């Protein structure tokens, strides 16, 4: 019965309109949250929000979502939903204009993420590469970092040990690495990594991020600047995974990302509270 209703609804509404409706709904939730109508201070509300987000993502991507790719399909939308609500909760003193701009930006990100994920889901369903694939791979890395920043900044606002903060951010990076491997696997220049190799590569990213967070845990700095530094390490790790799979690791690659990471480290050290 539920499947029949789902098929009927999804057949009548094109995917781009489903994505737009999903983004508008997410923006409305953020707006109500920012106005105090939905106070996300109860843990059960977050679980409910994540469940609704996951279910709605499956609905808008139907019929390309299967049990094999469901985790990858919901990863970024759920992270964005969590990061957006936590950012508005932990940074309440921002101006109204900036808050409204952030809500619009989060909604637009939700729409773009659904579009990009749709490319990968369609490719997996057809088992053939489509022209938009390379553009989608490039944007997927950018979107991962953009989504990670507000979520990590919110993690740094929790009054817990730096070890737990580092562990939480490193686990997120581990899953992002699995996602990056998933989106890269249809590249003809990339090697087909097995399960053990995927886990090993993701553990390397986990270690990079965990060590980086612990390394600067003693530095007093704004959560947002720490999030930028952490995201630069995550970006290096994810890019390293992609470069490894394509056999593109060289000195230029290492120096380029080392410079980016050092830039945000210096920025964090200069602008201390």
Task: Give the containing element (helix H, strand E) for 170.
Answer: helix 162-184
* pLDDT of 66 strictly over 80: yes
On whether the CB atoms of residues 236 and 261 are closer than 8 A, the answer is yes
Q: What percent of the chain has pLDDT over 70?
A: 92
* pLDDT of 25 strictly over 80: yes
Distance between CA atoms of 126 and 119, rounded to whole angstroms? 11
Residue among 269, 262, 155 at smallest CA distance from 220: 269
The structure tokens listed for 259 are 């410079």
Q: To the nearest whole number, what is the mean pLDDT of the chain?
A: 86
Query: Is the domain of 121 the same as that of 167?
Result: no
Query: Is the domain of 124 the same as that of 164?
Result: no
pTM of the predicted protein model: 0.90
Distance between CA atoms of 14 and 34, rounded to whole angstroms? 30
Nearest 5°: phi and psi at 129? -80, 140
Residue 111 lies in a domain: yes
Which range has the top average pLDDT, 24-38, 160-174, 258-272? 160-174
Query: Is the domain of 91 the same as that of 21?
Result: yes
Q: What percent of the chain has pLDDT over 90?
A: 45
On whether the CB atoms of residues 107 and 26 are closer than 8 A, the answer is yes
**How deeply is 144 buried, as exposed, middle or buried, from its count of CB atoms within 10 A (0-12, 13-18, 19+)?**
buried
Query: Is the domain of 103 the same as that of 170?
Result: no
User: Which of 170 and 160 is assigned the larger pLDDT?
Assistant: 170
Cβ partners under 8 Å of residue 210, min gap 6: 166, 167, 169, 170
* pLDDT of 273 strictly over 90: no
* pLDDT of 1 strictly over 60: no
**How deeply is 75 buried, as exposed, middle or buried, from its count of CB atoms within 10 A (0-12, 13-18, 19+)?**
buried
Average pLDDT (44-60) is 86
* pLDDT of 76 strictly over 90: yes
Query: Is the domain of 30 the same as that of 109?
Result: yes
On whether the CB atoms of residues 76 and 144 are closer than 8 A, the answer is yes
Cβ partners under 8 Å of residue 72, min gap 6: 117, 120, 178, 179, 182
Distance between CA atoms of 168 and 184, rounded to whole angstroms? 25
Of the given ranges (183-187, 198-202, 213-217, 269-273), which has the lowest mean pLDDT? 269-273
Q: Which pLDDT value is given to residue 75?
A: 94
Query: Is the domain of 30 the same as that of 116?
Result: yes
Query: Is the domain of 68 the same as that of 16?
Result: yes
Residue among 69, 68, 77 at smallest CA distance from 22: 77
* pLDDT of 228 strictly over 70: yes
Residue 135 lies in a domain: no
Q: Which pLDDT value is given to residue 42?
A: 67
The structure tokens listed for 30 are 């953020």
Q: Which pLDDT value is given to residue 30?
A: 86
Domain span including residue 24: 1-128
Q: Which pLDDT value is given to residue 37?
A: 67
Q: What is the DSSP letter of 243?
A: H
On whether the CB atoms of residues 221 and 165 are closer than 8 A, the answer is no
Residue 212 lies in a domain: yes
User: What total number of domains does the chain contain?
Assistant: 2
- If you compute the radius of gyration of the chain from its CA atoms, what whole number of angstroms results? 19
Cβ partners under 8 Å of residue 172, min gap 6: 79, 148, 151, 152
Q: Which pLDDT value is given to residue 128?
A: 79
Q: Distances from the Cα of 16 to the Cαs of 115, 120, 137, 225, in angstroms?
A: 8, 15, 19, 35
Distance between CA atoms of 195 and 206, rounded to whole angstroms? 16
Query: Is the domain of 11 the same as that of 98?
Result: yes
Residue 32 lies in a domain: yes
């Amino acid at each position: 019965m539920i499947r029949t209703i789902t098929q009927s609804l999804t057949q009548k509404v094109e995917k781009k309109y489903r994505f737009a409706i999903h983004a508008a709904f997410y923006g409305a939730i953020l707006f109500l949250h920012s106005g105090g109508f939905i106070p996300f201070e109860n843990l059960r509300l977050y679980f409910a929000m994540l469940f609704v987000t996951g279910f709605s993502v499956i609905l808008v991507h139907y019929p390309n979502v299967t049990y094999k790719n469901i985790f990858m399909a919901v990863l970024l939308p759920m992270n964005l939903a969590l990061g957006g609500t936590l950012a508005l909760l932990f940074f309440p003193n921002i101006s109204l204009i900036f808050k409204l701009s952030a809500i619009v930006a989060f909604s637009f990100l939700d729409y773009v993420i659904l579009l990009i994920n749709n490319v990968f889901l369609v490719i997996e369903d057809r088992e053939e590469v489509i022209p938009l694939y390379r553009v989608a791979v490039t944007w997927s890395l950018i979107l991962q970092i953009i989504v990670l920043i507000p979520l990590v900044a919110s993690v740094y606002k929790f009054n817990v040990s730096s070890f737990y903060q580092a562990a939480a951010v490193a686990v997120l990076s581990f899953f992002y690495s699995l996602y990056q491997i998933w989106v890269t696997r249809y590249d003809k220049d990339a090697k087909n990594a097995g399960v053990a190799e995927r886990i090993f590569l993701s553990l390397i990213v986990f270690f990079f991020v965990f060590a980086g967070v612990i390394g600067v845990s003693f530095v007093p700095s704004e959560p947002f600047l720490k999030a930028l530094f952490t995201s630069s390490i995550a970006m290096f790790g994810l890019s390293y995974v992609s470069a490894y799979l394509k056999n593109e690791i060289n000195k230029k690659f290492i120096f380029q990302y080392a410079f980016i990471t050092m830039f945000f480290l210096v920025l964090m050290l200069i602008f201390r509270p």
